[in-house]
């Protein structure tokens, strides 16, 4: 069953001779439970596509449906609610709130919705991510890998329909990068989490079930492992 469907998705910045076509007719579907990597050179449109899927940016043309919702038609308030409840976002830079503890950062999406966290669910999540001893620490007291684990836990605490990861290992060394990839694979395999990973690292992309290559705003390759 399709979770994500993009039809002739376009994004243009500027006008006339100065126009830049970041996305130029992207057709894409992603099934529930897939782990898909999107690769391509800098400027190929990877991050633009991810931001549109998350409702952070709007397409110039075409449609994008996520879990049956036309994301491109949402106003800013509804887009923010949709992201918080349906889409988990993990960036290269962790975007943690420095004055909040690890536990408070993780639970932020639930607290914004005035929802009580499930203690057992929280315990399982932080245990799987190796954060059980760091819940009362501040982000500044964590290593880079631990901060990214916290960002992943925050993205997953709502059990989103789709997890979007934009260069999640780009700010980490090789060891921590491998650990973060292992955690994403664990979330995919144990929770059935649908993941869309944007990366320039072919080594990381090779671990995904499906690898899509973008060039000049177009899909030029779409291959599945095996």
Neighbours of 98 (CB within 10 A): 8
Range 44-56 burial, b when 16+ CB lie within 10 A, else e: bbbbbbbbbbbbb
pLDDT band, very low/low/confident/very high, at 43 (cuts 50, 70, 90): confident
Q: Whole-model pTM?
A: 0.86
Q: What are phi and psi of 63, to 5 degrees?
A: -130, 155
10: pLDDT strictly greater than 90: yes
pLDDT band, very low/low/confident/very high, at 207 (cuts 50, 70, 90): confident
Burial of 42 (0-12, 13-18, 19+ CB in 10 A): exposed
Range 69-97 burial, b when 16+ CB lie within 10 A, else e: bebbebeeeebeebbbbbbbbbbbebebe
| CATH superfamily for domain 34-58+76-224 | P-loop containing nucleotide triphosphate hydrolases (3.40.50.300)
| pLDDT value for 157 | 87
168: pLDDT strictly greater than 70: yes
170: pLDDT strictly greater than 80: no
169: pLDDT strictly greater than 80: no
Summarize pLDDT for 50-86 with one digit per residue, the tens: 989 988 899 999 999 999 899 989 998 898 888 888 8
| pLDDT value for 171 | 74
Neighbours of 100 (CB within 10 A): 15
| pLDDT value for 159 | 86
220: pLDDT strictly greater than 90: yes
226: pLDDT strictly greater than 70: no
Summarize pLDDT for 122-164 with one digit per residue, the tens: 888 888 888 999 999 999 999 988 998 899 899 988 888 899 9
Per-residue pLDDT, averaged over 208-226, amounts to 91
Token pair 């469907």 is found at: 5
105: pLDDT strictly greater than 90: yes
| pLDDT value for 9 | 95
* Residue 126 structure tokens: 């932080």
Token pair 């609610």 is found at: 81
Domain ranges (residues) in the chain? 34-58+76-224
| pLDDT value for 39 | 92
């Amino acid at each position: 069953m399709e979770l994500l469907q993009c039809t002739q998705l376009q994004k243009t910045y500027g006008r006339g001779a100065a126009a830049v076509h970041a996305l130029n007719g992207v057709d894409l579907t992603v099934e529930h439970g897939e782990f898909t990597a999107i690769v391509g050179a800098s400027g190929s449109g990877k991050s633009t596509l991810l931001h549109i899927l998350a409702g952070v940016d709007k397409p110039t043309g075409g449609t994008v449906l996520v879990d049956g919702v036309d994301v491109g038609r949402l106003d800013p308030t509804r887009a923010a609610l949709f992201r918080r409840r349906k889409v988990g976002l993990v960036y290269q830079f962790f975007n943690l709130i420095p004055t909040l503890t690890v536990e408070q950062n993780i639970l932020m999406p639930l607290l914004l919705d005035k929802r009580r966290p499930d203690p057992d669910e929280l315990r399982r999540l932080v245990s799987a991510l190796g954060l059980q001893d760091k819940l009362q620490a501040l982000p500044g007291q964590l290593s880079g890998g631990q901060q990214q684990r916290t960002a992943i836990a925050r993205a997953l605490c709502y059990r989103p329909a789709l997890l979007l990861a934009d260069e999640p290992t780009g700010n980490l060394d090789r060891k921590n990068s491998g650990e973060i990839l292992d955690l994403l694979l664990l979330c995919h395999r144990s929770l059935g989490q649908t993941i869309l990973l944007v990366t320039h690292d072919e080594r990381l992309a090779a671990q995904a079930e499906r690898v899509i290559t973008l060039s000049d705003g177009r899909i030029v390759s779409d291959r599945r492992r095996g």
